[in-house]
Amino acid sequence: MKINTSEFIISAVKRAQYPMDGFPEVAFVGRSNVGKSSIINSLTNRKMLARVSQTPGKTRLVNFFLINKEFYIVDLPGYGYAKVSKKEKESWGKTIEMYLTGRQQLKRIVLLVDCRHKPTGDDIMMYEWIKHFGYDVVVIATKSDKLSRMNLKKSEKVIRETLKLTKQDKLYFFSSLNKVGRDELIDHIFEEPVHGLSEEDTTQE
């Protein structure tokens, strides 16, 4: 699959602001410093499509980007940033939960983890949360350029054991800097949910 066009549509605060055109959606979620905006920009080949903040935890809205005029990338708020109040953390959690609950257009969730570190308690909770809601999930370990091939193997073992992934569960490594394997990753993430839908799946809520 080739991404030809990508455009920002809306930053939504509440459900009523979500797009209602029935296009399928693939959501990205992860810790606030995991490089979520960078990977979205890298996959779409747009440097400034998703804003890369110098202050982790700043994204607090649900951002919708229309891809090829046929599906959405949805950028969910980052979680796990320590330097925010408990009230703010609860607010972000509610924002994510509001989106995940009963969103028929949502076909897959991409969970991002940092390949250099063992997945945190927040990562484990998010993975279990996604599975609880019954969504298909792909785990991507970011910043893979920072590790040697040997350490990437070790990282894969740690991530799979910590999140309790099976051999069938999808785990990929990627670097937004060198973009190695970008085209293959795009196929893995987007091909099936975009082109494998029935007419019933693409109707409006």
Tokens of 35: 């490089």
Q: Dump pLDDT digits (tens) for 154-180.
A: 999 999 999 999 988 989 999 999 999
Is residue 64 left, alpha or beta, with left meaning phi > 0 and alpha meaning psi from -120 to 50? beta
Helix 121-133 and helix 86-100, axial crossing angle in degrees, nearest 10: 30
pLDDT beyond 80 at 195: no
Q: Chain-wide mean pLDDT for the chain?
A: 85
Which H or E run includes 150? Answer: helix 149-163
Give mean pLDDT, residues 119-142.
Answer: 92
pLDDT beyond 80 at 58: no
**Can you give the pLDDT at residue 54?**
46
Q: Contact 189/110 with Cβ under 8 angstroms?
A: yes
Q: Give residues with Cβ within 8 angstroms of 51, minimum separation 6.
A: 37, 59
User: Mean pLDDT highest for which of 53-57, 160-164, 197-201?
Assistant: 160-164
User: Which amino acid, 88?
Assistant: E
pTM (whole model) above 0.85: yes
**Can you give the pLDDT at residue 79?**
83
**Can you give the pLDDT at residue 7?**
95
Where do the domains of the chain lie, and which CATH numbers do they carry? Answer: 22-193 (3.40.50.300)
How far is C-alpha 60 from the chain's CA centre?
14
Instruction: Check residues 31 and 194 and name the one with the higher pLDDT.
Output: 31
**Can you give the pLDDT at residue 88?**
56
**Can you give the pLDDT at residue 19?**
96
